[in-house]
Amino acid sequence: MIVPTIKTSQTFDPAHFARVRWLIYAILAAAYILVFFHRIAPAVVSSDLMQAFGATGATLGSLAAMYYYIYTVMQIPAGVLADTLGARISVTLGNILSGVGSILFGMADTLWEASIGRALVGLGVSVVFVGLMKSNTLWFRERDYGFISGLTLLLGNIGAILAAGPLAGLLTLWSWRTVFVVLGGVALILAGLSWLKVRNTPEDAGFPSIREIDGHARYEGRQQHWWHDLLGVLATRRVWPGFWLNLGMPGSMLAFIGLWAIPFLRDLHGLERAAGSVYTSLTLAGFAGGALFSGWFSDRLGRRKPLLIIGVLLYGLAWLGILYGNWTPGVAGMAWFVLLGFSCGSFVLTYACAKEVVAPALSGMAIALVNTGLFLGAGVLQPLFGWILDLSWGGQLANGVRVYSAADYQAGFFLMLGYVTIAIVASTFLHETRCRNITLGS
């Protein structure tokens, strides 16, 4: 449904609108870069954390996954906050919590204190992505949503890339504790900017809505209590395939790249942390590029489902190559890791699919629901993978850090292939929206 058109003001300045829109986007995207940094950094500092807290594989997995536990639980509430309070309040509060959590994590003397800090980081950053994606639905045109979603993932992955190779280099100058304390201060600065500069909608900033700028009637807002809206989103079957696809594809990739990739490259291929981080950096660069390409090409093609099916099949091929390709460190291995990331980047289209099968006013909740699958998958897989490694561990240590064998990793990788199977099956159930909101009947 829509409400009557409100005429665009004669004083509307497109250049001023563009400056305000991109400033808001830049602030929210900067916060999202920190989200990805915190997501990937434990892989690079894994040996430091094992030494600092005497952690086993399962314990380290649980510490890293604390972020995912909180993030997963908070996705639906984040969607509700995005659809009710908007990005300004939710992202401001999120930056404050993640800043405090990062500082506490960097200063922790015990595993318990580190876990609390990691949990606060997860709680704070959990609202940033959904708030940003909701903001994008209100500040950008629907026909550009795939592209802006891909750009968002591209920028977010800058944080992931910084948490790989550059962080490994930075750790030769600073301790891991200093890095996380500084990041906490950056998050607090972003909290202030979010409050001062971010506005939830163009109307809040004194502009007409994006629909009115194009000469159309604006979308109708929410008509009932958020609880009833949420139940309606949960009951929408067409949203759920995106949930399961995200659990199986980006969930498994982030669980691996975010913690276990560097130990795997170290133990089985003899790569030091800096060399191993090159592989994770390439994966994340491929992931960012794949997200941008998929979003752009989907908008131009006018289709979502075919690109997602192709993406998940290529993702499965990449895993088979990494596990059974008999590669050695070098170009061949890097190519498999790049393919893993690039193919996984197609998952960004699940957010467009989700928002296009519910009423526009409920887009935040729909995006949050499919995003929950991603972090549920990663949160379960990270410690479970470590637990499986510990089951068959032969007792070998190097500088106080556990070293696992090829057989140990082989057992864990069967989980990865199971996740890939879930994603492939889910992709066949996606509903093709043709890049438009199907609830509007036009």
CB 2 within 8 A of CB 203: no
In this predicted structure, what is the pLDDT of residue 96?
97
Find, among 260, 310, 312, 259, the residue nearest to 422 by Cα: 312
Q: At what angle do helices 57-84 and 111-125 cross, to 10 degrees?
A: 30
Is 282 a member of any domain? yes
**163-214 per-position pLDDT tens digit:** 767 887 888 888 889 989 999 999 999 999 999 999 999 999 989 988 788 7
d(C-alpha 145, C-alpha 410), whole Å? 40
Above 60 in pLDDT, residue 9?
A: no
Asked whether residue 217 is assigned to any structural domain, the reply reads: no
Q: Are strands 397-398 and 401-402 parallel, antiparallel or unpaired?
A: antiparallel
- Taking only the tens place, the pLDDT of each residue in 73-118 is 898 999 999 889 999 999 999 999 999 999 999 998 888 888 899 8
Residue 433 placed within a domain: yes
CATH assignment at residue 110: 1.20.1250.20
For 373-410, write each residue's pLDDT tens digit. 998 898 888 888 888 888 888 888 787 778 888 888 88
Q: Is the pLDDT of residue 6 over 50?
A: no
Q: Encode pLDDT of 18-40 as tens digits.
A: 999 999 999 999 999 998 888 77
pLDDT at 1: 38
Q: Is residue 5, in this structure, part of any structural domain at all? A: no
- pTM, two decimals, is 0.77
Taking only the tens place, the pLDDT of each residue in 218-235 is: 666 666 777 888 898 999
Q: Can you list the alpha helix ranges (DSSP code H) found in 85-175?
A: 87-107, 111-125, 128-139, 145-162, 165-170
Domain span including residue 152 = 16-205+226-440
284-297 pLDDT, tens digit per residue, is 889 989 999 999 99
Residue 441 has pLDDT above 70, yes or no: no
Residue 141 has pLDDT above 90, yes or no: no
7: confidence class by pLDDT, cuts 50, 70, 90: very low
Residue 215 lies inside a defined structural domain of this protein: no
> What pLDDT is stored for residue 303 in this prediction?
92
Residue 164 to residue 276: CA distance in whole angstroms = 9
Q: What's the rounded Cα separation, in Å, for the pair 176 and 80?
A: 35
In a domain, 221, yes or no: no
**Domains: count for the chain:** 1
Examine residue 378 and state whether it is found in any structural domain, yes or no: yes
Closest CA to 1 of 323, 350, 362, 345: 362
Please say if the pLDDT value at position 58 is more than 60: yes
Q: Does any domain span residue 220?
A: no
